[in-house]
Structure 1
Amino acid sequence: MKVSIERAQLLKAMSRAQGVVERKNTIPILANVLVEAEGSTVSLRATDLDIEVIERLPAMVEQAGATTVAAHLLFEIVRKLPEGAQLQLISDTASGRLDVIAGRSRFSLATLPREDFPVMASSEYQVSYAAPVPALRRIFDKSQFAVSTEETRYYLNGVYLHVAEGAEGKVLRAVATDGHRLARIDMPLPDGAEGAPGVIVPRKTVGELRKLLENDDAELTISVSETKIRFSVDALVLTSKVIDGAFPDYSRVIPTANNRKMEVDAKEFAKAVDRVATVSQERSRAVKLALDHDRLALSVNSPEAGSAADELTVAYDDEALEIGFNARYLLEIAGQIDRENAVFMFADAGAPTLVREGEDLSAVYVVMPMRV
């Protein structure tokens, strides 16, 4: 194999490929990226057996061929080469080496045979549909913070993507929860998506997908089966297994009867929570919210560090209420709110609280209180 390729293109593709590859591998070939040259393109393929990413790049192919090389190593080499460099990749099956040449820099890297590289089995997808990149990016961005990292509840280790009934008809919905907070985000249902099965997209896949959703004008196609989901954007294809489990009935934990309403400037609220939480030795420490007529008092008491208090003017016209929350959870939810005002709907000090962005019902958050 002998190809010439631009550094910038290879760097971007290798950045995505090495994100999929696990740094610690018991199977040596899984640390590698498969480089295949044919016609006028070079394709890079990386996998951890659960996720596979394939990207095709334009290149000058003098000699077709394929090899596999350590993904993180190739990425670091390309990253450190000068901007604007033209790279040559030359592999020799006899020596088992891949030469990377750019100007006067030359690297000779160990390779493994392409025949050893695992390829994810193809799947029969039940439904394929096109989705606008900005809308898809929004539903994953706003929900992924609530994904659980607790491995024992594996069915919560991802974002549940499914077709649901929204306020104004059917929607494509993303839901994530870890039992302490929940995010439910809707987007208009794309044409052709109606029969799509509900799937749990793993946390790692959501992180890698986010790197693909950069170009708002790109054409994105989603293909879904009971066991896999595939995202195709331009010359890039990300295929992932989905989590084999049943996502809980999240609608049961979304309160519908909370009638104590507080409206607050989302950015000012986040700053005040962050200020008082400074004295907490742990981010999980509770921050107490004390509500009275159009006034919110925030306070934190830490036996080791001391105490803090702050106050905000809010729109609240109900009975006085004191309620505690994990400061980090409040900050993460406030960070998702794009509109100026956040609306908190309370029931009492022991019940889940509903948070939304103004009157917009397409993004709803639930947070469990803490004892203070």
Structure 2
Amino acid sequence: MLTRRRLLIAGVSAGTLAALAPVLARADNVKPSLPLKIGFVYVSPIGEAGWTYQHDLGRRAIEAAFGDKVQVRYAENVPEGNDSERVIRDFAADGAGLVFTTTFGYMNPTIRIARQFPRVVFEHATGYKQDKNVGVYAGRYYEGRYLAGIVAGRMSKSGNIGYVAAFPIPEVVMGINAFTRGLRSVNRDAQVRVVWINAWFDPAKERDAADALLAQGADLVTHHTDSTAVVQAAEARGRYAIGYHSDMSRFAPHAHLTAVTHHWESFYTRTTAAVLEGRWVSENVWGGIKDGMVALAPLSAAVPADVAAQVGEQQQAIIDGTLQPFQGPLFDQAGRQVIGAGSTLTDEELLKMNYFVEGVVGRLPK
């Protein structure tokens, strides 16, 4: 499977998700006939939690908001590659006026099909290629990761944390590093051990990796993969876990401390309204906690009040802009200074992140 998510060099204004440079206006932008046909292409099954599940909540929000003005369909478990190109083309050929393609490996097929259907609007999650009728969007997941790291640092007794990861691309590395930065802001000696599974959604591999980390003494595990297997592994062994994409507490009621969750409802309904009203333009959107696109799931009852208060304070600091997860001084795992005090990594630097920070154990695959 191709790597899925490459984040975008863009910012987003609070509440508005305003247009960001560069913006490519559509020359033929007119109001569509009703109902507006909308297609969603998903890389994995919708299931009950995870990456695709969160996008499907956005699809349902469109149906709830616009009723008979829209006709929404989806295709799930579509592999990245030739199959995705066929599915995207089928939606466009069947009269869709708006198509959401929700994984990085759909990027090139989306661009190719968009050029064949210039009057159809396409929105691609986590890619970086735009066109007059193709916009791109993603979340600043690393902000939530930093806060989750604080929870882990306060709740772990051993300081041995396990992390199940999909592919060694900048987005995933960024999350590992942000989590470790949050972790070591409250527990300087804590360490993060990473196991790579080279898949976004493979519950068996995810479970095996989590079990291996737990067997090596991790008393808390987290993940950048799509299923609930990691939190369930922690539940089975009586350890703690922090979920990803969705609130996974019902799958691990004792283990689950919180989760870094993604929220697409506002973006999807806002985009649909823009298409319906004939005012859509191509945008780069990269929204975080302040914009409501990333959030922590409710903390479990096992998390003490003072820990919850600390997380709340740090979250507000991120919203206010007084805390950046990658502000200096920042050192890589070999002790080399990346940036000094008073500096912060730029978006461009974040999107090229190819090193581990202090506190991550093991080498980053090339």
Scaled by the length of structure 2, the TM-score of the pair is: 0.24
Identify the structure with bigger relative contact order (alpha carbons < 8 Å, sequence gap 6+). 2
Scaled by the length of structure 1, the TM-score of the pair is: 0.23
